[in-house]
Structure 1
């Protein structure tokens, strides 16, 4: 039910809607869930664009059975962090602030990052940092919006505790990698619109190449399993051999695969478009795909020569 744990049926729907190209917000709306619930679910169980409903359900079951870690003893003096801890928090916060994170927000984040497994309440943060409740509330709001912090109910009372959970770095990595890949893809679409020989096309080409390389370096094909790479190559070969657009179901049937397997291969291609280089996967309708040549691999002169 909405607000409870995701069911196996929910996960099957998420996998299908991802394959149809729906965003997290739309999937959340259809399931009656917050967008953050969907993004966390895919981050936990969809590494490298490979979200499979059955595997996600099994992983959720394993997490539910996993014993809770024992709470470590935190270095404090009279209920307050030691001088060494306070110095580390302030120094680390300054480094994060230099990357653009607001300084107070950085202090709150590092305090949560260095807290024990149960996290901290807003009152704990006010006490530790000696700041106003409003400052803490504003910082927590910022961190929740970018999904660096999650909240859980306090078992001992009605307060909420804030935690930097185990998946935060995976989410941050995927967000960066996915965003870079989307920028590269958008740049290639811009080249088709403006033309490869125009000033805009040249700039977009350079930009697309830069972000494509960045995506490859951050999440390159070396992180994929051998089976995933073979599946991607099989999908490319099938689309090239057909020479026409194929629906997801037609592709799965032709390859004699379960639908989830074909979905996973297509998701991998969407998130790591350089795997198809010098071709590009293109969705021309819901769950319908074809291959096109990347517009940045040929110069305007080469294109003109091939067209004549």
Structure 2
């Protein structure tokens, strides 16, 4: 396999092959290079969705010049705070982490800022620090900070001894990221539920939306850690209310009978629906009118057993 650095034509070929949808191993075979060389090259230069050959080549030349300068005999090697003993490897990892975040749906600049904050020793940097490290405009940093603050992944604090603010990453940032995903899934489930009401539960569209609602709803509950003890008690209470009523009841009717806010009843019904083991062997059923009724979970009894009980 040929060695040495990637050339500009190599990088142009990588960009073209990425655009054609080829994976790293396929591109590596095309260029006669190790797969790790291709994956590192793409990760440190924007990821597969934002890789640009000319920009990647310029960035490599700049890194080479910085490395050459730092290795002059008269120079003293200074380790930049937060980048460990191998600054170049740390910066490459930082870009690789940001590229992974981009693949999960985060805007590129927000991902770079979050990765930069996460990989510093202090977990905090000022806007000027971020501009210098990422070599972007203050406006780009400001937009990324606003996005991350909106997700409650970072917060601002005064920078002691300096008339400016610093941006601090929360210690539980990954838990917060997980919770954001859980909330987004809950919104998808709520929208699917609205679609079932619009199209009707018996229509093909309604059936598909109901399957989507149930799947995403269960996923959302699992990601959020499942219902709390209070939520479990509410789910059991609305189930008991439906058993006692003996016929389907709407959310409003249940709220009036239980003297609960509509939102509490809705949450209780959702918990009972998304986590059916809570009310086993009972299962909730939505009628065409949108009211709730109860049934026995179908898997608890076979058809033969059901027929025997009806005939007895």
TM range (shorter): 0.5 to 0.7
Matched, 1:143 2:143: no
Query: Tell me, what secondary structure is at the counterpart of 1:139?
Result: helix
Structure 1 CA distance for aligned equivalents of residues 269 and 126 of structure 2: 42
Structure 2 CA distance for aligned equivalents of residues 177 and 77 of structure 1: 39
Q: Structure 1 pair 126/190, CA: closer, same or farther in 2 (3 Å)? A: closer
Matched, 1:125 2:130: yes
Structure 1 CA distance for aligned equivalents of residues 80 and 179 of structure 2: 40
Structure 1 CA distance for aligned equivalents of residues 166 and 97 of structure 2: 22
Aligned residue among 94, 102, 109 for 1:89: 94
Aligned residue among 93, 116, 120 for 1:115: 120
Structure 1 CA distance for aligned equivalents of residues 195 and 210 of structure 2: 9
Structure with max Cα Rg: 2
Alignment size in residue pairs: 204
Aligned residue among 76, 79, 90 for 1:77: 79
Structure 1 CA distance for aligned equivalents of residues 120 and 272 of structure 2: 36
Aligned residue among 234, 237, 246 for 2:237: 234
Structure 1 CA distance for aligned equivalents of residues 245 and 170 of structure 2: 45
Match in the other structure for 1:30: none
Query: Tell me, what secondary structure is at the counterpart of 1:192?
Result: helix
Report the alpha carbon displacement of residue 228 of structure 1 after superposing the two structures with TM: 5.1
Matched, 1:214 2:216: no
Structure 2 CA distance for aligned equivalents of residues 174 and 97 of structure 1: 18
Match in the other structure for 1:172: 177
Report the alpha carbon displacement of residue 179 of structure 1 after superposing the two structures with TM: 3.1
Alignment of 1:205-284 (within 5 A): 205-219=210-224, 221=226, 224-225=228-229, 229-238=232-241, 240-242=243-245, 245-247=253-255, 250-251=258-259, 267=267, 270=270, 273-275=273-275, 278-279=283-284
Q: Deviations over 1:62-92 (max 9, x none)?
A: xxxxxxxxxxxxxx71557322321211111
Structure 2 CA distance for aligned equivalents of residues 248 and 188 of structure 1: 22
Query: Tell me, what secondary structure is at the counterpart of 1:100?
Result: coil
Q: Structure 1 pair 224/194, CA: closer, same or farther in 2 (3 Å)? A: same
Give the TM-score normalised by structure 1: 0.52
Superposition RMSD on alpha carbons, in Å? 3.9
Give the TM-score normalised by structure 2: 0.52
Aligned residue among 206, 209, 216 for 1:204: 209
Q: Deviations over 1:86-143 (max 9, x none)?
A: 1211111121222232333221110111234461111111222233323222222222
Query: Tell me, what secondary structure is at the counterpart of 2:275?
Result: helix
